[in-house]
Every structure is written in structure tokens, then in C-alpha cells.
Amino acid sequence: MAKAIHMMIRVIDEAKSVAFYEQAFGLKVKDRFEFDGFTLVYLKNDENDFEVELTVNHGRSEPYTHGTGYGHLAVSTDDVARDHQRAEKAGLNPTPLKEFFRDDKLLAKFFFLQDPDGYKIEVLQRHGRYT
């Protein structure tokens, strides 16, 4: 069966993006490959094998457009309230913590962050289907 191994996003400022993902999610540079015209940076943490791949196109200065197709990346945490408070203290501007209910049962407790290039990341409490 297929296994999800990474997601890729294009970023303008490598250092700013690496710093954001480390501060927000504890992701660190696992590999970095420079090529003619672009650099690939793979970020991960010790909790899983899934990586975020940052693609930096050399010489690009204009922000990328996300169009109407991109939604968000989702990560789960064992204490979403703690991580929301940590994000606030770090100045990462999280959205308010929200809860979704279905059939009077908690489906999801979450908030969103935006990285330096405007990509949205949903931070979910590990619960039910979001473990």
C-alpha cells in the first residue's frame, strides 16, 4: 500500500520558513539539497517519518499564490490548549481555539497557524479520528 512520506510547499525565505516550522512544530532540517535554480529542504521531528519539503526557487522574490485548491496541512498534538498558548506567547498569531461537534459529540478541537508564506496549518487535539 502507498505510504504518505511528505508534502511540498514553495517558499520565498528559507531561513524564515525553517525558523517558523521549528518554532511552531519542532520540525528540524533533516536534509538539504541545493541544485541549479532551486533548493530542497526536508523538515521532520522525532514523532514521525512524515516530512515537510520546502522548495526554494532561487531568485524568486514575489509571493506565491495559493489559488483556490490549497486548503491546509494538519498536525495533531496531545495538548492543543497548551500548544495554542505556546503559539500565542511566541507571537505566531494562532486563530482562536475552536471545537466542532457532531451528533452532540466532540469531533475536533483545533486552531490554525499561517507560515511566513501564508500556508495554513491546522493544529488538532489528538482525539477520535485525529490521533
Is 60 part of any domain?
yes
- Average pLDDT over the chain reads 94
In angstroms, the CA 10 to CA 115 distance is 11
Is 1 part of any domain?
no
| 17 contact partners, CB below 8 Å, separation of at least 6 | 11, 41, 54, 115, 116, 117
Q: How does pLDDT run across 81-111, given as a tens digit for each residue?
A: 999 999 999 999 999 999 999 999 999 999 9
The CATH number covering residue 32 comes to 3.10.180.10
Q: Please state the rounded mean pLDDT for residues 41-60.
A: 94
Band of the pLDDT at 30, cuts 50, 70, 90?
very high
**pTM (two decimals):** 0.88
Decide: 31 and 49 in contact? Cβ < 8 Å.
no
Task: Report how many domains make up the chain.
Answer: 1
Q: Please state the rounded mean pLDDT for residues 37-45.
A: 96
Residue 108's alpha-carbon distances to 12, 22, 37, 52, 75, in angstroms, are 32, 24, 41, 23, 12
Is 131 part of any domain?
no
**Catalytic site residue 99?**
no
Domain hosting 51: range is 6-125
Is 130 part of any domain?
no
